[in-house]
Amino acid sequence: MSATVSLFSSERRARSSEPGQDGAFIARAEAVAKIAAAHAAEVDAKSRFPAEAFAALSKYKLIGMLIPMDLGGEGARAADVADVCAILGAACASTAMIFAMHQVKLACLVRHHRDNAWQLDFLRKCAAKQLLLASSTTEGMNGGNIRSSEAAIQLDGSKVRLARDASCISYGAAADAIVTTARRGESAANSDQVLAVFERDNYTLEPTKSWDTLGMRGTCSVGYMLCAEGEADQVLAEPYDRIHNQTMAPYAHLFWASVWCGVATGAFSTARAFVRQAARASGGRMPPGSRHLTKARVSLETLRAAVQAGLANFERHAREPGGLTAMEAQLALNFLKVEASEIAVQTVMSAMRACGLSGYRNDTEFSLGRPLRDILSAPVMIHNDRILASAEASVLMSAPSGALSH
């Protein structure tokens, strides 16, 4: 699995060995992926949190991998996290997506704490206890518009309170803390947002919406009434618009695209196994749908190249202060999300057609029903049409370079 799924396989697999060795992210992710795969069908069927996989992620210290070493973490790069997302995606899409969403929230705290003592202590706790962070960025009638908040932070001396009708808090019941957007204050505009983090004993969750979906069922993205109270230092001083442009959106697009690449890779591997078995059973004659395996391989390579280019572009801009807020970087990462989600669906569908009825059925070893249902979430998870509409002005202002190298 790993040689196919790892996005930077030749460079970093040479540095990985046993699952328990520090820095061997790929080997450790592969160990977790075996556990995730063993429980993926039940996670999907029962729409439950993938507890076994996250116990393994905690055991192998991957949950806090982005936290800097001086705070007790491993100082992983975004590309390291992307590899783990891809490896997990081939095993269980829900596990991979939860891991990706958690890492996005963790990145926001790592990159924007501004040396706040409470937030630094919280990051140390995250590393030591491998705490899982849930996300609350949508509420009420806003749908997927995460750049608008209705609920406001209420300041009472050194304390803050928040009551938020969250339309979706993925894996909220299983998380150790929630990272949420909110209006800066009662008189602030909906777009004047802050980011706050509340630990489990800081809040209550009252379910308001269920989670009965086509796929990604294990993310348990239930709607809740979130009532939280904590210290004022639990609100990040950095305005959310900067956090969103510099970290939230870039990391989300990278990590989600890596998850989808993993799901597509897993589907292709299943289809290849089917075609090989069918060809052996018929004396070398290829099954009717075999040409779709070739189509799946072509689109998979296109998908992998897009994610690898996105990672390279990200790392190039991330080296410069504010580089990720540049129009070129924003457009590239937004387009990565759109392109990766569409190509991933195409790849899994081709894999399904390569397997024919064996892929369509739910009771065969070559069933592709679950990955197909999971991957169909990709274009609507922050709807592609929303992203493209918001990019229209930037497209008019920014011309593509004529050069093919940088």
Q: Could you tell me the residue range of the domain that residue 210 belongs to?
A: 133-234
Return the residue matching tokens 């979706």: 168
Top-confidence residue, 82 or 406: 82
Contact 182, 193 (CB under 8 A): yes
The band of 205, judged by pLDDT with boundaries at 50, 70 and 90, is very high
Shared domain check, 277 and 206: no
Of 110, 129, 148, the residue at which a domain comes to its end is 129
Of 234, 269, 293, the residue at which a domain comes to its end is 234
For residue 115, being part of any structural domain is answered with yes
The band of 401, judged by pLDDT with boundaries at 50, 70 and 90, is low
For residue 403, being part of any structural domain is answered with no
What pLDDT sits at residue 144? Answer: 66
Mean pLDDT calculated for residue range 189-217: 97
What pLDDT sits at residue 11? Answer: 47
Burial 289-302 (b: 16+ CB within 10 A, else e): bbebbebbbebbee
Of 114, 129, 144, the residue at which a domain comes to its end is 129
What pLDDT sits at residue 18? Answer: 46
Shared domain check, 245 and 226: no
> Is residue 173 predicted with pLDDT exceeding 60?
yes
Shared domain check, 360 and 254: yes
What pLDDT sits at residue 406? Answer: 55
Task: Quote the pTM value.
Answer: 0.93
pLDDT, tens digit (0-9, with 9 covering 90-100), for 183-194: 999 999 999 999
pLDDT, tens digit (0-9, with 9 covering 90-100), for 243-271: 999 999 999 999 999 999 999 999 999 99
What pLDDT sits at residue 128? Answer: 98
Query: In the sheet that 133-136 helps form, which strands lie side by side, from edge to edge?
Result: 133-136, 177-183, 193-199
pLDDT, tens digit (0-9, with 9 covering 90-100), for 289-329: 999 999 999 999 999 999 999 999 898 888 777 778 777 77
Shared domain check, 89 and 210: no
For residue 323, being part of any structural domain is answered with yes
The band of 399, judged by pLDDT with boundaries at 50, 70 and 90, is low
Contact 96, 85 (CB under 8 A): yes
How many domains does the chain contain in total?
3
DSSP state of 22: T
Mean pLDDT calculated for residue range 139-144: 68
Out of 15-24, 66-75, 104-113, 358-367, least confident range = 15-24
Give me the phi and psi of 387, to 5 degrees please.
-65, -45
Shared domain check, 385 and 277: yes
Burial status of residue 82 (CB atoms within 10 A of its CB: 0-12, 13-18, 19 or more): buried
What pLDDT sits at residue 103? Answer: 98
Average pLDDT, the chain: 91
